[in-house]
Amino acid sequence: MNSLDILRSAIRDVPDFPKPGIVFKDITPVLSDPQLFKLVIQHFVQQCAGKNIDKVAGIDARGFLFGATVAHEMGIGFIPVRKKGKLPFTTISHSYALEYGEAEIEIHTDAVTHGERVVVIDDLLATGGTASASIRLLEKLGAQVVQAQFLIELAFLDGRAVLDHTPVLSLIKFD
């Protein structure tokens, strides 16, 4: 079994979470295994190679785990994209639809400077609402979003379609 197969098998399904009918992809077994966690981080870093990335934006909350680690490995800054009301300084926000409700995210207005090249990282791409909102916020502040990376993509929900012009990279796809 190759490392991607081992990684895929470590992701467990949790039925009816956070509500009936949703099958949640639980990555905590990946996070608790240092070799699998390292594999994911190495993949994200490799996908950034040669792209002159200035900062990594991680989406609340599991995107923080991967994004901050990738930023550290690359020696660049990290931007937390948070749920509304969680950031202490001046922010801009964006509302969007989730696959099971609605939400609003925000970032600090000084998170990026005009022209900075940013990669967005999160654990999961489903309908694309959260990633799309993150990209819109970053672009509104003048960032150039170079790509969006995900550990998991639920391809059957076609979330990449709402990310328009942003290249999407995912390590594991579930059809």
Catalytic residues: 62, 99
d(CA 40, CA 20): 29
8 Å CB contact between 132 and 150:
no
d(CA 27, CA 100): 19
Q: What is the number of helices (H) and of strands (E) in the chain?
A: 5, 9
d(CA 68, CA 77): 8
Nearest to 121 by CA among 85, 161, 80, 158: 80
Nearest to 124 by CA among 38, 61, 54, 34: 61
Pairing of strands 91-98, 77-83: unpaired
Please tell me whether residue 62 adopts helix, strand or coil conformation: helix
